[in-house]
Structure 1
Amino acid sequence: MTSYYSAIAERMAGPGREQLVRKLAEYHHGNESLHMHEYIERREPCSYCWLRAGRAMQIVGEHLVAGPLADVLAERARQDAKWGEQNHPDGTKQIMYGCLARDWKYIVEAAAAKGKLTWRHVLLEEVYEALAEDDAAKLRAELVQVAATAVCWIEAIDRRTATEADRG
């Protein structure tokens, strides 16, 4: 049964993305907060997780082929090739980071209220929120927000430069 659904998910994801869709299906299956049914004890992803992974890959597929996420994946490959696996301490949860996170929240709110909000504001608020965390799960969630904000900023730059090129 699983091989049937894995084949469907791989077709949904598109050619060359078999390993990505498998990792995503395994992630969904192993994460109880994402798991919506009773087959958690099975090691191999179930049909629900395969189909969910396939659909997710359909949605983000174009971003993996071209655009900011492709650039990020290429940069990660370059980093791994240069440095190998990195396992540094987090270095978070210092009092100053909590203060900076609080301060940047107010700075962002004030800039937004004045119509002066910039990507610098948004990204730094997210970075300081991440640096203020010592709980691994919360830190990970904050770092996902940092990464998503950076990708969103890159997308905005790409849109702006494409518009400028169209005009120029």
Structure 2
Amino acid sequence: MSYPALFTTPGMRDFAEAVDAERQRQIAKFGDQHHPIIRGPHSTVLFQDLAEGLRRTNDDPAQRCWMTILLEEVYEAGAEGNLAKFREEVVQVAAVCQAIITDLDRQAQRPGDPS
């Protein structure tokens, strides 16, 4: 499926189309799902601790990688008790995912580059 050119970020259109196709597969397989956003206050404390640990890791350029960046964003979302702020954090997760996909696509175009 092709969409009008609404995006200005390189790779965003391909990313959005891939996400849309995957969501259609998920809906076909599982239907329209509804789950709690998070369960209990103990979960937010756990996510706060995990996010803090990854923040320290990501402060060190020698340790930082896409997975630690992504997980930090996911844990920050899980630590958020306010649903509007949780939504903002999930948008940040999606933005990091788009950056990862774009970087993967660039790496695939440069054979011989180390991963």
Paired residue for 2:100? 153
Deviations 1:13-38 (A, max 9, x none): xx865xxxxxxxxxxxxxxxxxxxxx
Asked if residue 106 in structure 1 is aligned to residue 56 in structure 2, the reply is yes
2 CA distance for matches of 1:63 and 1:129? 23
Q: Residues 135-146 of structure 1 correspond to what in structure 2 (within 5 A)?
A: 135-146=82-93
Q: How much identity, in percent, do the aligned residues show?
A: 36
What runs of 5+ residues in structure 2 fail to find an aligned partner? none
Which deviates more from structure 2 when the two are superposed, residues 67-76 or residues 154-163? 67-76
Larger RCO (alpha carbons 8 Å, 6+ apart): 2
Paired residue for 1:133? 80
Question: How far is the alpha carbon of 1:69 from its aligned partner?
Answer: 1.9
| Distance of aligned partners of 1:58 and 1:156 in 2 relative to their CA distance in 1, 3 Å threshold | closer
User: Which ranges of 4 or more aligned residues in structure 1 deviate by more than 6 Å?
Assistant: none
Question: How far is the alpha carbon of 1:162 from its aligned partner?
Answer: 1.1
2 CA distance for matches of 1:16 and 1:160? 25
- 8 Å Cα contact 2:12-2:98 kept in structure 1: no
Aligned match for 2:65, one of 111, 118, 123: 118
CA RMSD of aligned residues (A): 2.4
| Distance of aligned partners of 1:141 and 1:77 in 2 relative to their CA distance in 1, 3 Å threshold | same
| Distance of aligned partners of 1:97 and 1:159 in 2 relative to their CA distance in 1, 3 Å threshold | same
- 8 Å Cα contact 2:15-2:101 kept in structure 1: yes
Question: How far is the alpha carbon of 1:81 from its aligned partner?
Answer: 1.3
Deviations 1:23-57 (A, max 9, x none): xxxxxxxxxxxxxxxxxxxxxxxxxxxxxxxxx82
Instruction: Give the TM-score of the pair, scaled to structure 2.
Output: 0.80
Paired residue for 1:59? 8
What runs of 5+ residues in structure 1 fail to find an aligned partner? 1-14, 18-55
1 CA distance for matches of 2:50 and 2:34? 25
Judging by fraction of residues, say which structure has more helix.
1
The code of the aligned residue for 2:32 comes to: E
Paired residue for 1:50? none
Q: Residues 5-16 of structure 1 correspond to what in structure 2 (within 5 A)?
A: none
Matched pairs, number? 108
